[in-house]
C-alpha cells in the first residue's frame, strides 16, 4: 500500500513541508488531547487516562514546534491515534466494576486490552519517530466528504421521506463527488438505480420499507 504515494505539496522543499505538516499534525494532536482531558475531568476514576492525555498534549506541542524529529509521519500519527483510542476507552469504562475475587468484572477486559493497545500504539508511534517512512498521503476533501454526506443524508431521510426519495437523493449527492459528473446521465442512472432497489428490496426480498413520504 505504500506504493503510489502522491508527493506532498511542496515536495521540492522537503524541510519546509515536513515542518508545516508537523505543525498542523502536532496542533491537531494537542487540541484532541486537551478536549479529551477536559472531558476526563468530569468523569471520576480517570487518573491514569488524565496523565496519558496530558502526556499526549505535551507530545503534540513538542511535535508542533519541531522538537520531535518525525521520520515516518504515517506511523507516528497512526500510533498516536492508537494511544488516544484506548484512552477514550479507559475513560468510557472508568465507572465499570473491575475484578471481584477470581472473577473478571465487566470493566476488567476493556481496561486490560486498552492498556495493551496503548502500549502497542506507543510502540508504533516511537517507530514513526525513528524509522524513515513515506509522508502522509494528501487527504482529498470533495469526493470523500460528499460520499459521507450522501450516506448520512440517507440515514436522515429514510424515516421521514421513505425509500424512493432517500435513495434517489443519496445517489445524486454522492455522484457530485465525482469530477466527471453529467446531469442528465446522472439523473437517469439515479432513477434507474432507485427503481432497481425498490424492485429488489421491496418486491423481491419483501422488506417492509415505506416507499414515499408519509403525510399525517
Partner 1 sequence: MSDLLANLWLGFQVAANPFNILFCLLGALVGTLVGVLPGIGSVATIAMLLPITFGLPPVGALIMLAGIYYGAQYGGSTTSVLVNIPGEATSVITCLDGHQMARQGRAGPALSIAAIGSFFAGCVATVLVAALGQPLTSLALLFGPAEYFSLMVLGLIFAVVLAKGSVLKAVAMVLTGLLLSMVGSDLETGAGRMTFDIAELADGIGFANIAMGVFGFAEIIRNLELPPESRDILKTKITNLMPSRQDLIDSAGAIARGTALGSLVGILPGGGAVIASFAAYTFEKKIAKDPSRFGRGAIQGVAAPESANNAAAQTSFIPLLTLGIPPNAVMALMVGAMTIHGIVPGPQVMTKQPELFWGMIASMWIGNLMLVVINLPLVGVWVSLLRVPYRLLYPSIIVFCCIGIYSINNSPTDVSIAAIFGVVGYWLVKHDFEPAPLLLGFVLGPLMEENLRRAMLIARGDVTVFFTRPISAVLLSTAIILLILAGLPKIRRRRDEVFVE
Interaction residues for partner 1, span 155-194 (CB under 8 A) = 155-156, 158-159, 163, 166-167, 170-172, 174-175, 177-181, 185-186, 189-190, 193-194
* 110-144 b/e (C-beta count within 10 Å ≥ 16 → b): bbeebeebbeebbebbebbbeeebebbeeeeeeee
Cβ contact 134:74 at 8 Å? yes
Position among 24, 65, 67, 109 found at the interface with partner 1 (CB under 8 A): 109
CB of 75 to partner 1, least distance (A): 7
**Min dist. Cβ of residue 158 to partner 1 (A):** 6
Query: For partner 1, which residue of 15, 42, 206, 215 counts as binding (CB under 8 A)?
Result: 206
Site string for partner 1, 62-101 (x = CB under 8 A): ------------xx-xx--xx--xx--x--xx--xx---x
Task: Answer yes or no: are the C-beta atoms of 77 and 136 closer than 8 Å.
Answer: yes
33 or 86, CB closer to partner 1? 86
Question: Would you say 65 or 126 has its CB closer to partner 1?
Answer: 126
Site for partner 1 in 4-63 (CB under 8 A): none
Distance CA 79, CA 52 (A): 14
CB nearer to partner 1: pick between 65 and 109: 109
SS3 103: strand
What is the C-alpha separation between 165 and 156, in angstroms, rounded? 11
The burial of 203, by beta-carbon neighbours within 10 Å (0-12 exposed, 13-18 middle, 19 or more buried), is given as exposed
Find the helix or strand (DSSP H, E) in which 36 lies. helix 14-40
Query: Which of 116, 130, 199, 212 touches partner 1 (CB under 8 A)?
Result: 116
Minimum distance of partner 1 from residue 67's CB (angstroms): 22
Amino acid at each position: 500500500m505504500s506504493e503510489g504515494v502522491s508527493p506532498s505539496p511542496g515536495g521540492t522543499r522537503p524541510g519546509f513541508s515536513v515542518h508545516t505538516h508537523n505543525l498542523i499534525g502536532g496542533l491537531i494532536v494537542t487540541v484532541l488531547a486537551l478536549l479529551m482531558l477536559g472531558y476526563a475531568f468530569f468523569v471520576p476514576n480517570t487518573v491514569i487516562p488524565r496523565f496519558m492525555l496530558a502526556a499526549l498534549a505535551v507530545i503534540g506541542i513538542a511535535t508542533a514546534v519541531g522538537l520531535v524529529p518525525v521520520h515516518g509521519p504515517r506511523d507516528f500519527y497512526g500510533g498516536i491515534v492508537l494511544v488516544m483510542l484506548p484512552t477514550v476507552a479507559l475513560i468510557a469504562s472508568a465507572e465499570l466494576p473491575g475484578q471481584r475475587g477470581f472473577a473478571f468484572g465487566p470493566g476488567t477486559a476493556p481496561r486490560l486490552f486498552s492498556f495493551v493497545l496503548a502500549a502497542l500504539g506507543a510502540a508504533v508511534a516511537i517507530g514513526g519517530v525513528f524509522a524513515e517512512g513515506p509522508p502522509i498521503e494528501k487527504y482529498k476533501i470533495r469526493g470523500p466528504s460528499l460520499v459521507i454526506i450522501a450516506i448520512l443524508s440517507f440515514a436522515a431521510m429514510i424515516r421521514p421521506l421513505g425509500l424512493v426519495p432517500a435513495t434517489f437523493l443519496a445517489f445524486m449527492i454522492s455522484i457530485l463527488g465525482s469530477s466527471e459528473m453529467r446531469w442528465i446521465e446522472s439523473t437517469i442512472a439515479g432513477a434507474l438505480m432507485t427503481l432497481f432497489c425498490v424492485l429488489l428490496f421491496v418486491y423481491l426480498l419483501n422488506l417492509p420499507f415505506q416507499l414515499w413520504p408519509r403525510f399525517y
